[in-house]
Each structure stands twice: as C-alpha cells, then as structure tokens.
Amino acid sequence: MAEYGEWNRKGATLSDVTAETEYGVSRDFIVKGIQRGKLEYRDGAIWGNPYLRILRSQLEKYITEELGDDYLVRVKNQAELRKVKKEISDLKKKLNVLQDRKAVIEESLKK
C-alpha cells in the first residue's frame, strides 16, 4: 500500500498522539483503521512508552472516507491557524525585545 520510501520521508509519518492533536482523531479510530486494513503502521517506543507510527497520507485518506472531506479541511485549517498565531506571537515578543534594546542603545548614544 505505501509508496516506495514513504516510511523514510520527512513528515510522511506521524505518531498516534500527534494524529490526535493535529487531526482530532482518537487512538481507537486509528486502531479501527488498522484492523480494517486501511492504515499501515509500525510500532515504536520512546523512553519505554509505546506508540503507533502511521503514514500521514493514508490517515488523511481514511479520515476523508470515514468523516468526510469537510472535516479534514476544517481540521487542517485550524491546525494551520494555530501555527500562524503562534508564529505571530513569537515575532511580536521578539519585536518588543528589539524595540527595548533599540531604546537602550539610543539612550546611551545621547550621552
């Protein structure tokens, strides 16, 4: 089912925990997909904690089949919006620090 080299490509796989946060699907939903033969998986463990590694493309296809295309689009847009908001917040913090530093430097130059 998987394309050649897909398991090794950066961003092509994700854990069941990451799938829960990015796509809002439960581990049970993923396990049902595995049992139905819709999802391939590999076992993994980090610091003794087991997890399932699945292919992003297969998960997205399975979500579309089970929950509809509208659900997938909405969830992906929400995730992208969260990422954009976080980046904006980080940039605002950096800008404030730089403006404070600029004010200190300008003040020292006036003396």
Q: What is the pLDDT of residue 1?
A: 65
Could you give the CA distance from residue 40 to residue 4 in angstroms, rounded to a whole number?
A: 13
Smallest CA-to-CA distance from 72 within 64, 82, 84 is with: 64
pTM score, whole prediction: 0.76
**Angle subtended at Cα 40 by Cα 46 and Cα 70, rounded to the nearest 5 degrees:** 100
pLDDT digits (tens, 9 = 90+) for 32-63: 999 999 999 999 899 999 999 999 999 999 99
Could you give the CA distance from residue 54 to residue 74 in angstroms, rounded to a whole number?
A: 21
**Does residue 5 register a pLDDT over 90?**
no
